[in-house]
Amino acid sequence: MSTQEKFGFGMNEGRMLDLDLVDERLNDKLTQKVPSWRSCLRCGACVATCPVGIGMLGMATAAGINCRNRQVTASGNPVTVKNCLLCGKCQLVCPRGIQTRLMAIELMKEIQNHAIAV
Amino acid sequence: MSERLKHNPDNQSSTTSHRVAVIGAGPAGAAAAQTASMLGLAVDWYEKETFAGGKLNRYYQLFPGREEAEVVYRDLFDPNHYREVNKQFGRFVTGIEKQAGRLRILVDESQAKDADAVIVANGFDFFDARLKEEFGYGIYPRVITSPDLEYHFKTDISRLRRGEEDPEAVAFVHCVGSRDQQVGVPYCSRVCCITGIKQAIEIREQFPRCRVYNFYIDIRAYGNGYEELYRQAQEEYAIRFIRGRVSEASEDQYGRIRVKAEDTLLGKPVKLTVDWLVLLVGMVPACPELMLNGQSDSHGNGRSFLKADNPHASQAVASCPGLFLAGACSGPMSIPESVASGRSAAVQVFEYLKNRNSSL
Amino acid sequence: MQSLYDPFVLLFTAGFTFTGIWFVFKVISWFFGLSTTDRRLVTRGILTIKTWQALVEVVRESLFHRKIFKTGFRLGYMHMSLAFGWFMLILIGNIESTYYTSQLFKPIYVSVFWRFFDAGPSFPAAAWAPGFAFWMDLFLLFVLSGLTFAIIKRFMPKVVGMRRTTRHRLPDRLAIFSLWMIFPIRLLAESATCGANGTGSFLTGSIGSLMAAIVPVQSLVLPFWWAYSLVLGIFFLALPFTRYTHIPSEAVLIFFRRYGVRLSEQSPGYTNLSLNSCSSCGICIDACQISQADPSLLVQSTYFIRSLRYKTGCNGAEWACLQCGRCEDACPVGLELMPLRRLALPDAGIGTVLSPVAPRKSNGSHPRILYFAGCMTHLNPGIIQSMKLIFNASHALWSFFDADGQACCGRPLRLAGQADGADRQREKLEAEFLATGASLLVTSCPICYRIFKEEYALPGMRILHHSQYINELIEWKRLRIDKQAGSAAWHEPCELGRGCGVITEPRQVLQTIYQSDVTPTLKGLCCGGSLGAPGLDPVTRKAVALGAISQLTVHQPDYLVTGCPMCKKSFLPISPVPVVDIAEVTAAALVKEPKHSVNPETQRQVLVTIP
């Protein structure tokens, strides 16, 4: 790469989401099992209410579902579904009533199958 | 239309024999009654309160132009803008019956009055914020709703002070009883976003050192001038908009409200303590008592907005000829939309009666 | 002496032998499928009173179907007449054949087809014969009357008091058809024989003589007996592949259960035995609220067990059960349906990694009472506020355990079949509780309460749901209540009532507070918000909730009172009457005490005060 190509302003590559590199297969598989997941507004109520600080949004980000990039984590720390207690508070505060508990179980199964890196 | 009236006095006399009932004296009802009377129809105007104006009476300033609600009220209810109106204020309409081609208005349980056409303009109710208990409305004194705040502004905003001190922080929660499957309100109430923006600006004007936060899911600034006001709020009034829904509220030892939310754009959780938490409540259908032939078109919690048969072109209810809808009884609307809807309903009634006359 | 053999018996004998071999093989596999501990329970139990108790239970349940009688008389009669009637036919046949042949040990078909062999000239009608014939006819009539109900039930379940009955698989329908045919053909065969010989009692005798009068009855005897043997053979041949495995399995289950065996991951043999003991009677279908909320969702235990037994896959139904336990309550076989479901759920390893939680701050004092609100209660702050008022009004030395750092009890993981995660969570919280040195644990969440009661080892610590605690405070006159106007109905949360047997205490509190208690008489209903069903959609949940509310408010109460934050959340948005927690109504009914009456000593030790 020449220095000329690197010149100028650009996106922060560390935070960049490259939508050209999206692998939608996992996303499709999971949203087929939990269709209500597609209606997520990314409002974050689930994360805020989560007793162990994960929430479905964090899980999804970790799993690369909505962000569509497997490498991205919520806040720099690897967020792990394994901490989930399935307590269901996220499901109650969710304005769309998403079946978050089922999603957690399905996500975890994918992690066990090594389809998702955590 | 009015020009045609002037040129054809016969037309006028033929329609004055018709009676039109307008139910509700909010902005939509006022516009409908005004226009119908100006078109030469005899209007019976029902209102459950003894005064006109509906919820407008408790509003301070109106979005997006910040006009005083009182000015709008004076204009809408100016007696010079009305002809032949029989005010039936303080009378509660319990139902509408269809009998031999005429409609009967049932008033206060026992009385009834005939009408050739009816315009329903009974408006809406505010969502009961106690149903979203996690926000603590009705439990914590410092959690209020947007209509509560509007009334404080109209009457005495110093109630928000603590002794001599201005409030330090105020947060608004959007979509309380709006777009929420959990409480059976799947639709968007449309006007709460802009209400939150307007009230946030008013708080900053009143208490310049107060920090104001808006927790939103989406900002739906759909109307003319709304988006401009939103930008103004951010740029000029330094109101902080956080994309994320408040999940729950609790009270600290001083009675202030602590909220938890996730800043979903930063991907970081936020915790915040405020003096006042304002819930921007959505609009829900008004009381279901208004029934047609003993039937109400309701489901779930027993309430639903009334439906016109062709919402694109007409406000008439085809299943019941002569019945027309105006204002927020058919769905969430702003005041200008309600007024326009009321006027249009009155014109449609006029046309309906004229056509019926010529066919007879 | 007439030969006690005819070729037609081979059909029956083949089928019966097949089932017999299958059964022996199954019993061995069930026994060796038990864990070592469970196997020891069985071997040590055999020579104790438990064997006798099991025998009594087998007679009571497998023959008389006492529990089904509790569901409905006609349904119970139907099951009892078929089981007990058939048993008596075999028993009397056996006694009669033994009496006449003086052979104690003879092929089983001799007693099954006794009327055929009995009719020969070698056994002249003795003084006893009419007596035997009468009893045999009576029990055959008994069976036939039950059969009539069974056939009607297939097409009109309402007749026997059921709204819906099980939709069966093809092999089951085949078996049920052969079962239906057995007794009418037996009637024809016996009648033909009796008609030909001029014997028989009021039923076979009269039908026999009628037949003899109109047809050459002698030529019909053998074909009828062949047909009878054929349907018996088909039935027994099909038995191991159909729901009728429950007939022998249930008896074994009763014995194992009496010896103390329970469902566990370590005893797959007992799980298999339980699956085989389900008779697909369909009583669980009416008990299930989802049957009304969404009839297309075949989530009920009868279908779930069938999908496990034949390994056909659950199609998502495993995640749609509310786990309210109503079917378990109604099951006439007494199967452990909820644990059975949880064993079938895949372990996804959730909850096995403990999240780092900040260590709890100790303020040096040792409270006597720990208040554990529970995760869900934090979404209903009205309950917490009320509990604070109640604790302080009763001058309790208490501490709010999960005021800030919320902790999960592990029950949600248990309900989702994540056993390892649930155990880890329990161990962690157990240690935290014991470290406080408190002697009483009060919780506002029935979900937490159930796992605390059932699984937590907390020596020296009493565990109470807040409704029980409030009831005690009222009984001890630690709370002064102002009688409130109006009426209230109690909604019994599943985990609290059916799950933990807390039934009377909340009702007593209600009766103290309100003028009238208008709780309808019904078995506890699910609010639809259950944590048991991660896959159930909000629409069905709402339908379940609406159904429950309509039943709970039949007497038009002014308030619908519950004791579970989850139930409150489910009901609140859709209930026509106000939904309140029992803590909230108690707090609202407290006699307002003047400030100075509070002992300043006590007040200082109160850890959380109301501002």
Residue C202 clears pLDDT 80, i.e. is over it:
yes
Note the pLDDT of residue C607.
41
Name the residue among A55, A61, A97 with its Cβ closest to that of B182. Answer: A97
Are B224 and B248 part of one and the same domain? yes
Ranges assigned E (strand) in B41-183 = 42-47, 61-62, 67-68, 85-89, 93-99, 102-107, 111-115, 117-120, 124-126, 143-145, 169-176
Question: Are B326 and B29 in contact, with CB atoms under 8 Å apart?
Answer: yes
Ranges assigned E (strand) in C361-431 = 369-372, 398-400
Quick check: is A71 in a domain? yes
Neighbours of C72 (CB within 10 A): 15
Structure confidence by residue, pLDDT tens digits, C262-278: 999 899 999 999 999 99
In the numeric block, which tokens belong to residue C105? 């040990």
Quick check: is A6 in a domain? no
Name the residue among A48, A92, A97 with its Cβ closest to that of B262. Answer: A48
Judged by CB atoms closer than 8 Å, whether chains meet at A93 and C421 is answered as: no
Question: Are C481 and C586 in contact, with CB atoms under 8 Å apart?
Answer: yes
**Which residues are registered as beta bridge partners of A31?**
none
Band of pLDDT at residue C120, cut at 50, 70 and 90: low
Give A36→chain C minimum CA distance, Å: 9
Which residues of chain C neighbour A54 with C-beta distances below 8 Å?
Answer: 355
**Collapsing DSSP states into helix, strand and coil, what is residue B249?**
strand
Note the pLDDT of residue C353.
62
Considering the entire predicted model, what is its pTM? 0.81
Question: Are B160 and B207 in contact, with CB atoms under 8 Å apart?
Answer: yes
Which residues of chain A neighbour C408 with C-beta distances below 8 Å?
Answer: 51-52, 85, 87
- Among the ranges A96-110, B195-209, B294-308, which has the highest mean pLDDT value? B195-209
Query: What percentage of chain B exceeds 70 in pLDDT?
Result: 90
Question: Are B199 and B209 in contact, with CB atoms under 8 Å apart?
Answer: no
User: How far is the C-alpha of C25 from the C-alpha of C36, rounded, in Å?
Assistant: 19
Mean pLDDT of chain A: 66
Residue C609 clears pLDDT 50, i.e. is over it:
no
Note the pLDDT of residue B291.
59
Are B278 and B290 part of one and the same domain? no
Say which DSSP state A95 is in: T
Residue C225 clears pLDDT 80, i.e. is over it:
yes
Q: What CATH number is attached to the domain comprising A29? A: 1.10.1060.10
User: How far is the C-alpha of C143 from the C-alpha of C137, rounded, in Å?
Assistant: 10
Are B31 and B176 part of one and the same domain? no
Question: Are C44 and C51 in contact, with CB atoms under 8 Å apart?
Answer: no
Note the pLDDT of residue C259.
95
Residue A53 clears pLDDT 70, i.e. is over it:
yes
Band of pLDDT at residue B8, cut at 50, 70 and 90: very low
Residue C170 clears pLDDT 70, i.e. is over it:
yes
Mean pLDDT of chain C: 88
| Total domains, chain C | 4
Structure confidence by residue, pLDDT tens digits, B63-91: 999 999 999 999 999 999 898 899 999 99
Q: Which of B256, B283, B310 is the last residue of a domain?
A: B283
* Closest to C66 measured CA to CA, from C56, C275, C336, C337: C56
Are C184 and C69 part of one and the same domain? yes
| Total domains, chain A | 1
Question: Are C379 and C569 in contact, with CB atoms under 8 Å apart?
Answer: yes
**Collapsing DSSP states into helix, strand and coil, what is residue C263?**
coil
Which residues of chain C neighbour A36 with C-beta distances below 8 Å?
Answer: 537-538
Which residues of chain A neighbour C351 with C-beta distances below 8 Å?
Answer: 82-86
Q: In what order do the strands lie in the sheet with B19-23?
A: B85-89, B42-47, B19-23, B117-120, B323-325
In the numeric block, which tokens belong to residue C9? 């018996």
pLDDT-wise least confident of B307-311, C245-249, C347-351, C606-610: C606-610
**Which residues are registered as beta bridge partners of B124?**
B285
Quick check: is A62 in a domain? yes
Structure confidence by residue, pLDDT tens digits, B140-158: 999 999 999 999 999 999 9
Which residues of chain A neighbour C352 with C-beta distances below 8 Å?
Answer: 82
Quick check: is A44 in a domain? yes
Neighbours of A52 (CB within 10 A): 19
Structure confidence by residue, pLDDT tens digits, C288-345: 999 999 988 889 999 999 999 988 888 788 889 999 999 999 999 999 999 999 998 8
Q: Which residue's structure tokens are 């949203």?
A: A31
CA separation, residue C140 to residues B171, B174, C201, C202, C226 (Å): 80, 73, 11, 11, 19
Name the residue among A36, A51, A88 with its Cβ closest to that of C407. Answer: A51
Question: Are C383 and B134 in contact, with CB atoms under 8 Å apart?
Answer: no
Note the pLDDT of residue A78.
41
Note the pLDDT of residue A57.
64
Say which DSSP state A14 is in: T
Are C44 and C192 part of one and the same domain? yes
For residue C323, is it left (φ>0), alpha (ψ between -120 and 50) or beta?
A: left
Which ranges in A7-118 belong to alpha helices (H)?
A: 25-33, 45-49, 55-63, 89-93, 100-112
* Closest to C505 measured CA to CA, from C537, C529, C470, C530: C470
Pairing of strands B268-274, B257-263: antiparallel
| Total domains, chain B | 2
Note the pLDDT of residue C313.
83
Q: Mean pLDDT over residues C50-66, rounded? A: 92
Judged by CB atoms closer than 8 Å, whether chains meet at A43 and B180 is answered as: no
* Closest to C468 measured CA to CA, from C486, C487, C493: C493
Structure confidence by residue, pLDDT tens digits, C448-477: 999 999 999 999 999 999 999 999 999 999
Residue C228 clears pLDDT 70, i.e. is over it:
yes
Q: What CATH number is attached to the domain comprising C281? A: 1.10.1060.10
SS3 content of chain A, % helix, strand, coil (to 5): 45, 0, 55
Residue C602 clears pLDDT 60, i.e. is over it:
no
Are C121 and C24 part of one and the same domain? yes
Structure confidence by residue, pLDDT tens digits, C329-388: 999 999 999 999 999 888 877 776 665 454 555 555 667 899 999 989 999 999 999 999
Structure confidence by residue, pLDDT tens digits, C521-554: 988 999 999 998 988 888 899 999 999 999 999 9
Pairing of strands B276-281, B169-176: parallel
In the numeric block, which tokens belong to residue B266? 């930063």
The span from the first CA to the last CA of chain C, in angstroms, equals: 101
CA separation, residue C347 to residues C209, C274, C351, C420, C502 (Å): 67, 21, 10, 8, 31
Band of pLDDT at residue A16, cut at 50, 70 and 90: low
Residue A2 clears pLDDT 70, i.e. is over it:
no
Question: Are A56 and A103 in contact, with CB atoms under 8 Å apart?
Answer: yes
User: How far is the C-alpha of C318 from the C-alpha of C320, rounded, in Å?
Assistant: 6
Torsional sign, CA C440, C441, C444, C450: negative
**Collapsing DSSP states into helix, strand and coil, what is residue B344?**
helix
pLDDT-wise least confident of A15-29, A69-83, B172-186, C236-250: A69-83
Q: Identify the domain containing residue B261 by its residue range.
A: 129-283
Structure confidence by residue, pLDDT tens digits, C404-422: 766 788 999 999 988 888 9
In the numeric block, which tokens belong to residue C403? 């005021």
Q: Which of B258, B283, B308 is the last residue of a domain?
A: B283
Give burial (CB, 10 Å; 0-12/13-18/19+) of C344: middle
Radius of gyration (Cα) for chain B, nearest Å?
23
Residue C258 clears pLDDT 70, i.e. is over it:
yes
Mean pLDDT of chain B: 87
Q: Mean pLDDT over residues B253-260, rounded? A: 90
User: How far is the C-alpha of B204 from the C-alpha of B37, rounded, in Å?
Assistant: 43
- Residues 6 or more apart in contact with residue A95 via CB below 8 angstroms: A41, A43, A45, B175, B179, B180, B181, B182, B217, B245
Are C423 and C543 part of one and the same domain? no
Question: Are A51 and A84 in contact, with CB atoms under 8 Å apart?
Answer: no
Note the pLDDT of residue C262.
94
Phi, psi of C346 (to 5 degrees): -70, 135
Q: Identify the domain containing residue C274 by its residue range.
A: 266-344
Are C91 and C174 part of one and the same domain? yes
Q: Identify the domain containing residue A96 by its residue range.
A: 23-112
Name the residue among A87, A101, A102 with its Cβ closest to that of C408. Answer: A87
pLDDT-wise least confident of A37-41, B176-180, C557-561: A37-41
Q: Does C572 touch chain B (CB under 8 A)?
A: yes
Q: What CATH number is attached to the domain comprising C488? A: 3.40.50
Structure confidence by residue, pLDDT tens digits, B324-359: 999 999 899 999 999 999 999 999 999 999 988 777
Residue A76 clears pLDDT 70, i.e. is over it:
no
Radius of gyration (Cα) for chain C, nearest Å?
31
In the numeric block, which tokens belong to residue C64? 């008389």
Q: What CATH number is attached to the domain comprising B215? A: 3.50.50.60
Question: ∠B145-B151-B157 over CA atoms, to 5°?
Answer: 100
Residue C214 clears pLDDT 50, i.e. is over it:
yes
Residue B299 clears pLDDT 50, i.e. is over it:
no
Note the pLDDT of residue C1.
44
| Length of chain C as a residue count | 611
**Collapsing DSSP states into helix, strand and coil, what is residue B94?**
strand
Q: Which of B253, B283, B313 is the last residue of a domain?
A: B283
Question: Are C116 and C225 in contact, with CB atoms under 8 Å apart?
Answer: yes
Query: What percentage of chain A exceeds 90 in pLDDT?
Result: 0
Judged by CB atoms closer than 8 Å, whether chains meet at C407 and A104 is answered as: no
Judged by CB atoms closer than 8 Å, whether chains meet at A87 and C355 is answered as: no
Q: Does B248 touch chain C (CB under 8 A)?
A: yes
Quick check: is A5 in a domain? no
Judged by CB atoms closer than 8 Å, whether chains meet at A48 and B264 is answered as: no
Query: What percentage of chain B exceeds 90 in pLDDT?
Result: 61
Q: Which residue of C has its CA nearest to A113?
A: C348
Ranges assigned E (strand) in C462-552 = 462-465, 484-490, 514-517
Judged by CB atoms closer than 8 Å, whether chains meet at C574 and B139 is answered as: no
Q: Tally DSSP H helices, then E strands, for chain A.
A: 6, 0
Give C153→chain A minimum CA distance, Å: 37
Question: Are B69 and B61 in contact, with CB atoms under 8 Å apart?
Answer: yes
Are B155 and B208 part of one and the same domain? yes
Query: What percentage of chain C exceeds 70 in pLDDT?
Result: 92
